[in-house]
């Protein structure tokens, strides 16, 4: 039974995608509810796999695929897979239900439903694959769907843009259209995918297999790579893929601009699918690299880089979220930051030689984040729909008009901040505790600093949207007969369910964390023993240090967030000022650390300038001139040929023809038509012939 359910879990969404255009011809409602039904079937199949994760041994189910290359298609059914497929499928299903109301009446609905189900199917294929090649098919499918869904409104109406239309940074526009944002996501993530693909080729060349279980059990294939100094480059190329897909520094700038897509797409990308794919791959392949470290004593550069990339990204993105004025964009920065926590947990586990502990913390935070971030995004979509603006300054005082949305958003943002006893508190502290075990203070400071920034921008969102007086924009809507009201039931039911799940997971937090640590140690990709494990006392001390620091930063960030955005006793303008150091810091953060505009100046505008230079100096200055010279030479040669043709060949031929004509004319004169003359000529000719013969004989 489990084998059938395993295959059907990822096949159902693909069937739904393929049937969508056919169902559209039957009836639009049949198409809409049919698309949702197939996502539900995938979620139901995933749910029925849960007993396998709780009691049954892990399974690797395979079928023949490419026998000549020793590659089989297969699915892994172990705790890591089953946890991931349930998170992905159930949250995706709720987002699909939400879409019934949110996307109602959209002219591109057939295309939307097709790519949503195709997106879900590829993500589930990615998660369940037992080998790198099959995973890469799902990996690229997710990237393709993200391009199509982010750019869903490809006609680029101005109200669908993301960013501030009239502002520039380093002379680079800070607003982007849906089609531009979709292309940006596609290009940037492909940069990471190139590194991953090279790493896959290298692994296969030296191991002869791409199966995760085989690669983790026997790491002898890494010996020749280590001798040639290619092991660390291999690991870094491999991690380059997750950096791009999960929007980590330095390939993180595509994700905030992906907010140009529909909110349901944003929730799917940021909570359940695409950005978690990189974290999942790091967790799935992490045992392979950790076993290499343990088996051969290789340097832990791979895990150190994962940890540092995660920690730095966490802080950078959180600092940008603090100054963001757009609701969805602020949540996007938050996603980049929280994904950084997940990467930090996995990297810290490898550095501390407690890989299962770090992986469990990262995956635990992935799950909790998926629930509260999906809640936040779906609630944000309802708010934007009601207020008709993406800017938080255009909101205010909405808590009485949108009570269900307010409660859901409040739960989500407090969980995001790590307020106990909500789910984010337990998972985030598990990551920070794993960081404590590394003994690296800078990593810990990044993690703690981000806690303070997170609660600050979370209270900013709650304060600007739901507290304080109604904005001028809201009052104008009411005057025009469009009062702000609660979202339709089809929209608020999904995010209310997710908010309740956030509370439930939080109340069971310690037990869930304990299960994750136990279950992930039993994955089909085994983790080598690193020697003596840490004592329970050491782990308790690490947890105590992590929690103490987090609560302190939570209190500091919460104090300023409450004073500035809830009670409004402090004015942001008075804290920042018009000039000075604080204003410089604000401008630096507002301009996205100048990373995004620098990328445009160097890679986009630089490429365009290079293309112009190539055209000007090589195409026009070299090839066009050569082409002109060759053309002129051809003309001159043809003219010379024309002179020879007319002066020699034609003259010769014409001369021969003239001689022939003269000879013919002379012969015509002989032909008089008088018989006597013909007899005379015959006689003279005969006489001449006789004389000639006698002459030669004598």
What are 600-614's pLDDT values in tens digits? 999 999 999 998 888
Q: Is the pLDDT of residue 542 over 80?
A: yes
Residue 320 Cα distances to 314, 369, 585, angstroms: 10, 19, 11
Q: Is the pLDDT of residue 619 over 90?
A: no
Question: Which of 118-127, 409-418, 523-532 bottoms out in mean pLDDT, i.e. has the lowest?
Answer: 523-532
Q: Is the pLDDT of residue 394 over 60?
A: yes
Question: Which of 65-79, 487-501, 545-559 bottoms out in mean pLDDT, i.e. has the lowest?
Answer: 65-79
Structure tokens at 212: 């995760």
pLDDT tens-digit map of 401-454: 999 999 999 999 999 999 999 999 999 999 999 999 999 999 999 999 999 999
Work out the average pLDDT over 140-150.
Answer: 96
pLDDT tens-digit map of 559-571: 999 999 999 999 8
d(CA 97, CA 92): 9
Q: Is the pLDDT of residue 298 over 90?
A: no
pLDDT of residue 432: 97
pLDDT tens-digit map of 362-392: 999 999 999 999 999 999 999 999 999 999 9
Q: Which of 334, 333, 342, 317 is nearest to 372 (CA)?
A: 334
Work out the average pLDDT over 32-58.
Answer: 91
Residue whose structure tokens are 């966490």: 314
Beta partners for 73? 63
Question: Which of 219-223, 297-301, 327-331 bottoms out in mean pLDDT, i.e. has the lowest?
Answer: 297-301
CA angle 201/79/520 to nearest 5° reads 80
Work out the average pLDDT over 285-298.
Answer: 84
Work out the average pLDDT over 299-309.
Answer: 86
Comparison of pLDDT for 524 and 52, the residue scoring more = 52
Residues in Cβ contact with 199 at an 8 Å cutoff, skipping those fewer than 6 apart: 234, 235, 237, 238, 240, 241
Q: Are 486 and 399 in contact (CB under 8 A)?
A: no
pLDDT of residue 302: 83
Q: Is 63 helix (H, G, I), strand (E, B) or coil?
A: strand
d(CA 582, CA 417): 24
Residue 390 Cα distances to 280, 382, 561, angstroms: 31, 11, 21
pLDDT of residue 408: 98
Work out the average pLDDT over 330-343.
Answer: 97
pLDDT of residue 629: 78
pLDDT of residue 585: 95
H or E stretch including 168? strand 162-169
689 — pLDDT class (breaks 50, 70, 90): confident
pLDDT of residue 386: 94
Phi-psi region of 353 (alpha: psi -120 to 50; beta: other; left: phi over 0): left
Question: Which of 107-111, 118-122, 523-527 bottoms out in mean pLDDT, i.e. has the lowest?
Answer: 523-527
Q: What is the pTM of this model?
A: 0.88
Work out the average pLDDT over 31-53.
Answer: 95
Q: Is the pLDDT of residue 532 over 60?
A: no
Q: Is the pLDDT of residue 669 over 70?
A: no
pLDDT of residue 431: 97
Q: Is the pLDDT of residue 4 over 60?
A: yes
497 — pLDDT class (breaks 50, 70, 90): very high
Q: Which of 120, 121, 116, 94 is nearest to 106 (CA)?
A: 116
174 — pLDDT class (breaks 50, 70, 90): very high
Residue whose structure tokens are 């930051």: 337
Average pLDDT of the chain to the nearest whole number: 90
Q: Is the pLDDT of residue 651 over 90?
A: no
Question: Which of 116-130, 324-338, 480-494, 652-666 bottoms out in mean pLDDT, i.e. has the lowest?
Answer: 652-666
Q: Are 20 and 110 in contact (CB under 8 A)?
A: yes
Beta partners for 63? 73
Q: Where are the alpha helices (DSSP H) in 467-576?
A: 472-479, 489-507, 509-520, 536-561, 572-576
């Amino acid at each position: 039974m489990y084998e059938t359910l395993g295959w059907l879990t990822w096949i159902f969404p693909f069937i739904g995608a393929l049937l969508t255009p056919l169902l559209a011809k039957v009836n639009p409602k049949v198409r809409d509810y049919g698309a949702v039904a197939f996502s539900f079937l995938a979620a139901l199949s995933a749910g029925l796999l849960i007993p396998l994760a709780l009691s049954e041994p892990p399974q690797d189910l395979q079928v023949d695929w490419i026998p000549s290359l020793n590659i089989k298609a297969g699915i892994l059914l172990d705790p890591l897979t089953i946890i991931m497929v349930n998170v992905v499928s159930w949250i995706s299903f709720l987002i699909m239900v939400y879409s019934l109301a949110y996307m109602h009446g959209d002219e591109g609905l057939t295309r939307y439903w097709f790519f949503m189900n195709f997106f879900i199917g590829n993500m589930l294929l990615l998660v369940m694959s037992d080998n790198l090649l099959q995973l890469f098919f799902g990996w690229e499918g997710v990237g393709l769907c993200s391009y199509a869904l982010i750019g869903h409104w490809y006609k680029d109406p101005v109200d669908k843009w993301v960013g501030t239309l009239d502002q520039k940074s380093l002379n680079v526009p800070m607003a982007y259209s849906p089609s531009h944002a979709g292309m940006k996501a596609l290009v940037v993530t492909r940069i990471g995918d190139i590194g991953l693909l090279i790493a896959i080729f290298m692994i296969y060349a030296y191991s002869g297999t791409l199966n995760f279980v085989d690669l983790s059990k026997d790491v002898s294939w890494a010996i020749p790579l280590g001798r040639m100094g290619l092991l660390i480059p291999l690991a870094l190329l491999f991690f380059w893929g997750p950096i791009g897909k999960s929007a980590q520094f330095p390939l993180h700038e595509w994700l905030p601009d992906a907010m140009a897509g529909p909110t349901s797409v944003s929730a799917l990308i940021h909570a359940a699918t695409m950005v978690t794919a990189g974290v999942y791959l790091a967790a799935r392949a992490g045992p392979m690299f950790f076993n290499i470290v343990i088996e051969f004593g290789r340097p832990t550069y791979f895990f150190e880089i994962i940890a540092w990339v995660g920690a730095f990204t966490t802080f950078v993105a959180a600092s940008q979220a603090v100054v963001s004025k757009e609701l969805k964009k602020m949540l996007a920065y938050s996603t980049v930051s929280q994904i950084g926590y997940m990467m930090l947990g996995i990297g810290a586990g490898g550095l501390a030689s407690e890989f299962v502990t770090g992986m469990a913390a990262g995956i635990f935070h992935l799950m909790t984040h998926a629930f509260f971030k999906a809640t936040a995004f779906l609630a944000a979509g309802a708010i934007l729909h009601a207020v008709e603006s993406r800017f938080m300054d255009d909101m205010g005082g909405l808590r009485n008009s949108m009570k269900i949305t307010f409660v859901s958003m409040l739960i989500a943002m407090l969980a995001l901040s790590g307020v106990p006893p909500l789910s984010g508190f337990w998972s985030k502290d598990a990551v920070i505790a794993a960081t404590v075990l590394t003994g690296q203070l800078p990593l810990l400071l990044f993690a703690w600093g981000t806690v303070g920034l997170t609660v600050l921008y979370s209270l900013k969102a709650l304060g600007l949207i739901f507290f304080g007086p109604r904005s001028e924009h809201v009052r104008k809507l009411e005057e025009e007969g469009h009062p702000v009201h609660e979202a339709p039931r089809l929209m608020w039911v999904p995010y209310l369910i997710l908010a309740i799940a956030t509370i439930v997971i939080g109340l069971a937090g310690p037990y869930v964390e304990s299960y994750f640590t136990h279950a992930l140690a039993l994955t089909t990709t085994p983790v080598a023993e690193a020697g003596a494990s840490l004592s329970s006392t050491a782990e308790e001390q690490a947890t105590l240090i992590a929690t103490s620091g987090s609560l302190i930063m939570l209190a500091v960030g919460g104090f300023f967030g409450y004073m500035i955005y809830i009670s409004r006793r402090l004015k942001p303008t008075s804290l920042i000022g018009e000039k000075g150091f604080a204003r410089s810091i604000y401008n630096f953060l507002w301009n996205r650390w100048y990373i995004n505009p620098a990328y445009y100046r160097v890679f986009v505008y630089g490429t365009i300038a290079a293309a112009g230079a190539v055209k000007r100096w090589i195409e026009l200055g070299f090839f066009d001139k050569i082409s002109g010279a060759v053309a002129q030479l051809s003309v001159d040669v043809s003219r010379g040929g024309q002179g020879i043709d007319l002066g020699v060949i034609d003259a010769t031929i014409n001369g021969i023809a003239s001689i022939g004509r003269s000879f013919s004319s002379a012969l015509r004169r002989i032909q008089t038509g008088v018989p006597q003359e013909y007899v005379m000529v015959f006689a003279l000719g005969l006489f001449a012939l006789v004389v000639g013969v006698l002459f030669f004989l004598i």
